[in-house]
Structure 1
Amino acid sequence: MSLPENEIAIPQKEVYTYDDYALLPEGAPYQLIGGKLVMTPAPSTFHQIICARIQGKLYNHVNEKDLGLVLFSPIDVYFEEKETYQPDIIFIAKDRLHIIKSAKVTGAPDLVVEILSPSTGYYDLKKKARIYAKHGVKEYWIADPEDTSIEVHTGQGGRFVLNQRVEGEGRVRSLILEGFEVQVKDIFAPLDVVTEPGTTAAPR
């Protein structure tokens, strides 16, 4: 019996590796976390708005100063045989662009940004964070739409140390990208959208 179009036939295994992950169809909504294929549903519209705002500011800063490259999900970042993630936003410094291959990024970006969502928040805060730190991500930003906060963590000795946390209003600054900062309230500002004729609502 054939599967519905929105379902993917995945062989049942106790532990999956990158070779298994690479066999998934292009665009399949999975990340390889701890040897498990973890489904990551399409993000909410507000998640995408937050991502676009941070990515736009980061891209403009990096491009203006010719510092490297900014990429955004979906893009595969390979760390280990059982760990391949799709961070929301990554920055790779100019002298490390060699880690970008045709199918994936092979190694730790210099900066990673994750926007928390109900389906992936646990992994972003726990499992993925540990692997990011272990492999040398220098800076990790976590944006939380629920409490409108941004945290900036720095990599030290294979772990992350919280450097800044701003909730609601204020600014956070990058430690590895001189001059790059964002106003938190601008990142989480509501955007009125038409939901029905004559009505508006702010996506959350």
Structure 2
Amino acid sequence: MGMALQEMAAATDKVYTYADYQQLPEGAPYQLIGGKLVLTPSPAPYHQIISVKLEFQMIAHVTSKDLGIVLHAPLDVYLEETETYQPDIIFISRGRMDIIKEDKIEGAPDLVVEILSPSTAYYDLRHKYRVYERSGVKEYWVVDPLEKSIELFILDEGKFKLDQEIQVRGIIRSRVIEGFAVDAADLF
């Protein structure tokens, strides 16, 4: 067995890798971000309500058109040795199903949705943003429940650029999931 959770969390100068992350008990509420084990507590009900509404619409669309698969947290997405996340929602296109391994997703999903919560907002907007960009995530949605906003970034020549932004009202259209759009009024 590895170190006790308290010891692992306390040793902040240590750089953790996927091997360390694997030592955590199943279901331990951590993500491996920048080589640190970051505690990510259970999301608030409103966060989950938005997540379920968005995922339900995405699944219905993707399934009816046989475009790929939509999955949700908690699910490990391994991007680098020091970066293993549990995005709120991911989409993997039909042609890239090989990144789905027995114990994790290994590689960048085509689309990632992160719904901001107080414990992870900084990472979602900064560090994870850069790693998703570097790893080749084609489309990144940042959903802010407090602002009732969605920012949609698309990968353009290796860099994310803001493609669409809505607040309170408006429609966001995916560039990666063909024909998929969502109305803010149906989420918030």
Q: Does TM-score exceed 0.5, indicating one fold?
A: yes
Residue 110 of structure 1: CA displacement? 0.1
**Misfit runs of 4+, over 2 Å:** 7-13
Structure-2 separation of matches of 1:36 and 1:95: 32
In 1, distance between residues paired with 2:37 and 2:113?
Answer: 21
3-state DSSP class of the match of 2:155?
Answer: strand
Q: Does residue 1:120 correspond to 2:117, yes or no? A: no
Secondary structure at 2:58's aligned position in 1?
Answer: helix
Q: Is the 8 A contact 1:135 1:158 kept in 2?
A: no
- Quote how far apart the aligned CAs of 1:154 are: 0.1
1: CA distance, partners of 2:158 / 2:125 = 15
Separation in 2 of the partners of 1:99 and 1:53?
Answer: 26
User: Cα deviations across residues 87-122 of structure 1 (Å, max 9, x unaligned)?
Assistant: 000000001001000110000000000100111000
**Structure 2 residue aligned with 1:152:** 152
Deviation at 1:76, TM superposition (A): 0.3
Shift of residue 128, structure 1, vs aligned partner: 0.3
1:153-199 CA distance string (max 9 Å, x none):
001222210000000111010011221000112101xxxxxxxxxxx
Q: How does 1:1-204 map to 2 (within 5 A)?
A: 8-11=5-8, 12=11, 14-188=14-188
Counterpart residue identity of residue 113, structure 1: V
CA RMSD of aligned residues (A): 1.2
Distance 1:21 1:52 in 2: 27
Structure 2: which 5+ runs fail to align? none
The structure with more radius of gyration: 1
Structure 2 match to 1:200: none
Q: Secondary structure at the match of 1:56?
A: helix
- TM-score normalized with structure 1 length: 0.87
CA distance in 1 between partners of 2:182 and 2:19 (Å): 39
TM-score, structure 2 length as denominator? 0.94
* AA partner of residue 120 (structure 2): T
Aligned residues: 182
Say which structure is richer in helix: 2
SS of 1:109's equivalent? coil
- Residue 197 of structure 1 corresponds to none
